[in-house]
Structure 1
Amino acid sequence: MRLFRTAALAVFLILLTSFVHAQNSDAPPPVPTGDYKITFYLTDSQGAKIPDSQAYFTFTNEKGTSVQAASPVRSGIAYAYLDRGDWEGIVEVDDPLTPAYDYALAFNTSVSSDANTTLSLYEISSTNLRIHDEAGLLVPSVSVSLDCVRVPPSEKNKFPKDALSATSSPEGTLLLRHVPIGNCYIYAAKDNRVGMISVNSSRGEIVERTAVLKDKVKDDMLSSLPFFVVLIAALIIMYFIFVKKKGDENGEAPQHGKPIRSEGTASHEEKARTAKPHEEGKQIPDKPSSVSAEKLSGILNTLDAREKKIVELVRKNGGQMKQSKIYHTLLYPKASLSRMLRSLERKNIITLEPFGNSKSVRLSDWLQK
């Protein structure tokens, strides 16, 4: 009987030890020991108190020493203890009612005594990103960057360093833990392949996304024989319509299927081909649109050289131009220009709208926000 009681007691102690260990393993890291108590008043971007939750702090001083602290957030207040000195801090706030971190901020603080500090935190979400090639295979070690509507360039330093740029794992996956809420564009690039996707998230949400890397210069339309047949037929029809129109304007009738032209009169295409680049350049007003340099740089990295020239030219003309003016300025073949404009439209970089016998080329609205 005594042996039975001893065995039962031993089992109870083992279970109790396992339970205590499990509880301690999930506990937040201890608050670091320091000479001074820093009281943090935490608000969101609208000035409202952060709801009751858990705050995790990481501090690094000028010597490279890092300390971590965890503090409950009650009525928007959290605490940490630090020694004297200048510290770079990162705070992450986790609401237990959501599956991911909810708020984050990178900040600096100088400590010489007990102090109170107010921090205005950004609302964030997480994105679980998988990066494939066109064959569906995961691509390792891909450079990833974010461009978010709610984060102007002047405020990017208020996010943790890995928030807006990072590198995927050797397996081709990446967990972005500090993605600003709202509309963001994620750019992935490796070697000569690029990909772009959009994310629209809410606070504390985990979003699953897949980016597909494609060759910069690849255009599926080029491998389509029917496309070329239709294009050539359209060009022939346009040529005869143009010839007839010019003949009518000059009061001349075509003979034997050929237009009669006065000596010294050049066709529209001949003038475009012989126009000097610097003369055409004088016709372009320098009215850049409001596209930010960072956003434009991210977009141009996904394009080939000729597509870049088109986007930069439209931007310098206030974000909108006629297709015919682009043709006269850059002197690209009309068929190639039409194909490149359709490619840019499919990438949601420009929009094409009818404009008389031509088309109006305009930078997409999201680029000019």
Structure 2
Amino acid sequence: MRAVLAQPDFRRLWTARTVSQWGDIFSFVALAIQIYRLTGSGLGVAGVVVAEIIPLLLVAPIAGVVVDRLPRVQVMVAADVLRAALAGVLVIWHDDPLVIYAVAFGLSAGAALFNPAANSVLPAVVADPGIVAANSAVWTAAVLSQIILAPLAGGLVDLAGPGWAFGLNAASFLVSARVLRGLRLVEPAREVGRRRLLSEAGEGVALVRGDRLLRALAIGQLLAALSAGATSALLVVLAAEHLRAPADAYGFLLGAIGVGAALGPTLLLRLIPDPRRPLYVFGPYVLRGAVDLVLASVRSLPVAAAALAVYGVGSSTGAITFNSLLQSHVIDRTRGRVFALMDLLWQTGRLASLGVGGLLADAVGIRAVYYLGGALLLLAAAVGFAAGRAAGPAGRQG
């Protein structure tokens, strides 16, 4: 990671993404606290999550085409400026739930453009051997930022009100845009023909469907989202109803996931010479699936925390190897559409999982949610391993 961070272009991209993530953390905490204060209900808080997921479902297919047809740096800068303006609205006007939902919707729409562009542009600023290390650097910064800044964000909201947190988020987007403007890439500017947007989005779907490895990655992404959407959101229920843990144990369990997620990139780079092989992409699904089954079966808080640390390792290593394999396997001109489609599958599965998981937890019990989540992750691993054996060593998609 030190080697890739020594490269000026990647360091600029990494700085922009990290500073923007800092603002996102403050905004995420402030949004949750403020909407709960205004509505007094968990349903109100869930409404923010829905407002963030829906635009990703609507925008992602077109966003992928835009990312593949326009200069990606300009797309990222425009998305940052848009999000800065929206976050600025909440600095003054944050006492109306409808405004909060509308801004959350807009911020998510901007992210639907920014994220596939940032993931697609990374191979242009880092040589192929450094792609895994570059993704590890991005992930490590994100996890450490969340561990350190989330408690600070909660304190800031309590002491100074949510407006300051939203202001920091707006400022972070402007800093990100300013840093990215200095990123110079050799990439052709292409016009986006309006009549071709939907057809080119369909080409992205056909591309994934026609490539055995990409198809397995897409199925794994959807199955993992169907699992993680519910298990992540309902961890607080598991702690209270199954583990019979005290109220403050939920934070302890989240901390265990964070510790594992922070260790994952270091373990990946130190122990595995080529993490982009399908084995290391789909293997983390086995780890996470096994953890879900353990959580549904044990009642010991220390055992659950240790298992969740393993889950964190699986989450971080899985995300890094997944992105790195896509960046290496997919050619530049179609990379934006592939990443956007993977985002679409993730958010679709996450939304479905939240609804089904909540109903299942109420009707059958929280253990059933985790047993089902573990089974879905193990199924995702089985699909991936089968595709990996049939496809052989991962080559570059044409």
More strand by proportion, 1 or 2? 1
**TM value normalised by structure 2:** 0.20
Q: Which has the higher contact order (CA 8 A, sep 6+)?
A: 2
**TM value normalised by structure 1:** 0.21
Larger Rg: 1
